[in-house]
């Protein structure tokens, strides 16, 4: 980008930008808009830590002007897509290309590509999984991962195409299907691929398709239950598409995977169960709390040398002790013969079904609003056209001197007047949709809105 126009029509030089230290922040140009949407509105920016192969920061953040931040939860955007969505929704008449052209989204680090700052102030090379040069592009995998095609189970493919990505997917040696978007190392499909998650959030007709280590997501506060701007509750937040995925079903698979492992796999069982506990800890969802207790019970049994098989059925006489390593099951007792958690499978569906219902309801409301807006706007224009035609015909009648012609015009004016009266009456009926489609009569919905 050689230069850009500012809001006053001048030219802003966005070439040869000065390097910025990691996690540096600032206001306005060249890394944030100025005087948008109104004069005096200065946006803020912040650089991340990770550095792409081209030397620019892989992560950067954009923050609203103080005047707008109060009315928007969080006030900031962790990705270009999130900022684009906000501008499109809040300022639909603004050309989104012009908006991003008014400042530089890329922030130069002045450092070699694929470098990461570390705690002591130095730098370390990103630990990309190295492969022999001859192995690269094996079966289309840029990371040279020979087992890449096995990482995506058939049921996960869903016959959906992935959305084009010009952020991480343009990086050399990065494969969307098997490289974690946070650490760039390949994920492991062992034990059902328990250690990573694929984002299958729908983006139009496609899915996101990026994968991420769950441990990386937990460390970066993008998985589990997290407060603050993101606000997660047993969910995974994808930094590439801003999509959210519930983690209860994944945690349930962890428990099932653990139960299927042979009895001599205590170490991997403990690792899987610990991951499940981390994903669900702190959740306010009923299903998550129930499953957390179940996984913690299985973990406690494992520590005491008890099989974790059939841990969904609490029918053994196992009493938790009061040792310090009991975690969330301290003083938790399972009485012999009780049939606890038989409703677990139904509870596990509750949150997912609730979220799906609310999502469908939101889509339904948006559709109803758009339909009502279109029909009411069309009818309003129709009424204005009729009234203009009536005014024209009245004017002709007033200036007509021929009696026979006047008689014809008079009849026309009376018919037009009656037409306008009927259409106004219809418009009053249509306005009742303001109470919601559910409170509007079926006759009115069918007659006026085609439903």
**pLDDT tens sequence across 243-271:** 899 999 999 888 888 877 765 677 888 88
What's the pLDDT score for residue 212? 92
Question: pTM for the complete prediction?
Answer: 0.44
What's the pLDDT score for residue 42? 93
CB 157 within 8 A of CB 149: no
Give the angle 249-250-253 at the CA atoms, nearest 5°.
90
What's the pLDDT score for residue 74? 55
Sign of CA dihedral 82, 86, 89, 92: negative
What's the pLDDT score for residue 407? 85
Q: What's the maximum distance between 2 C-alpha atoms anywhere in the chain?
A: 109
Give the C-alpha separation, 20 to 22, whole Å: 7
CB 65 within 8 A of CB 43: yes
Distances (CA, A) of 105 to 82, 83, 99, 249: 13, 11, 11, 37
What's the pLDDT score for residue 139? 42
What's the pLDDT score for residue 433? 81
CB 440 within 8 A of CB 433: yes
Give the C-alpha separation, 418 to 316, whole Å: 82
What's the pLDDT score for residue 165? 77
Q: What are the phi and psi torsion angles at 57 (to 5°)?
A: -70, 135
Long-range contact pairs involving 325-334 (C-beta distance under 8 Å, separation at least 24): 326/300, 327/277, 327/296, 327/299, 327/300, 328/277, 328/281, 328/292, 328/293, 328/296, 329/293, 329/296, 329/297, 329/300, 332/293, 332/297, 334/297
Give residue-wise pLDDT tens across range 153-183.
444 444 457 777 777 777 777 888 888 888 8
Nearest to 304 by CA among 321, 328, 324, 281: 321
Mean pLDDT of each 10-residue bin along the chain, 451 residues long: 40 73 88 93 88 82 83 71 86 92 90 52 38 38 68 48 75 81 85 88 85 90 82 88 90 85 75 90 88 85 63 39 38 40 50 67 78 86 89 85 84 89 88 79 80 73
What's the pLDDT score for residue 128? 34
CB 111 within 8 A of CB 124: no
CB 178 within 8 A of CB 187: yes
What's the pLDDT score for residue 73? 58
Sign of CA dihedral 108, 112, 113, 116: negative
R_g of the chain, CA atoms, integer Å = 31
């Amino acid at each position: 980008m050689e230069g850009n126009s500012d809001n006053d029509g001048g030219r802003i030089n966005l070439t040869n930008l000065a390097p910025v230290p990691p996690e540096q922040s600032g206001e306005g140009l060249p890394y944030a808009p100025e005087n948008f949407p109104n004069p005096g509105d200065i946006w803020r920016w912040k650089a991340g830590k990770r550095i792409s192969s081209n030397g620019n920061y892989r992560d950067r953040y954009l923050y609203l002007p103080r005047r707008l931040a109060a009315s928007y939860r969080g006030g900031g955007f962790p990705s270009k897509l999130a900022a684009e969505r906000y501008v499109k929704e809040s300022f639909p008449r603004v050309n989104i290309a012009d908006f991003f052209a008014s400042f530089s989204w890329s922030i130069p680090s002045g450092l070699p590509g694929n470098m990461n700052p570390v705690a002591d102030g130095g730098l370390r090379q990103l630990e990309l999984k190295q492969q022999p040069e001859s192995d690269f592009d094996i079966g289309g995998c840029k990371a040279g991962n020979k087992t890449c095609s096995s990482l995506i189970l058939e049921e996960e493919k869903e016959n959906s195409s992935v959305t084009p990505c010009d952020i991480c997917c343009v990086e050399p040696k990065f494969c969307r299907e098997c490289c974690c978007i946070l650490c760039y190392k390949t994920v492991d499909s062992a034990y059902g691929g328990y250690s990573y998650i694929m984002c299958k959030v729908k983006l139009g007709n496609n899915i996101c398709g990026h994968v991420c280590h769950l441990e990386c997501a937990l460390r970066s506060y993008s998985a589990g239950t997290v407060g603050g701007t993101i606000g997660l509750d047993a969910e995974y937040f994808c930094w590439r598409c801003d999509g959210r995925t519930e983690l209860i079903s994944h945690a349930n698979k962890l428990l099932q995977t653990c139960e299927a492992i042979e009895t001599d796999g205590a170490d991997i069982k403990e690792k899987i169960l610990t991951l499940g506990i981390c994903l669900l800890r702190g959740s306010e969802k009923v299903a998550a709390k129930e499953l957390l207790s179940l996984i913690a019970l299985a973990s406690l049994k494992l520590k005491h040398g008890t099989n974790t098989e059939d841990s969904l059925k609490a029918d053994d006489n196992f009493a938790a002790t009061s040792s310090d390593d009991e975690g969330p099951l301290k003083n938790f007792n399972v009485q012999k013969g009780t049939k606890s958690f038989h409703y677990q499978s139904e509870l596990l569906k509750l949150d997912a079904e609730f979220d799906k219902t609310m999502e469908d309801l939101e889509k339904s409301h948006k559709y109803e609003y758009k339909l009502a807006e279109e029909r009411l706007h069309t009818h309003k224009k129709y009424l204005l056209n009729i009234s203009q035609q009536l005014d024209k015909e009245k004017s002709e009648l007033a200036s007509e001197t021929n009696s026979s012609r006047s008689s014809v015009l008079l009849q026309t004016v009376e018919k037009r007047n009656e037409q306008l009266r009927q259409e106004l009456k219809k418009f009053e009926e249509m306005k009742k949709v303001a109470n919601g489609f559910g409170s509007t009569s079926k006759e009115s919905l069918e007659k006026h809105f085609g439903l």
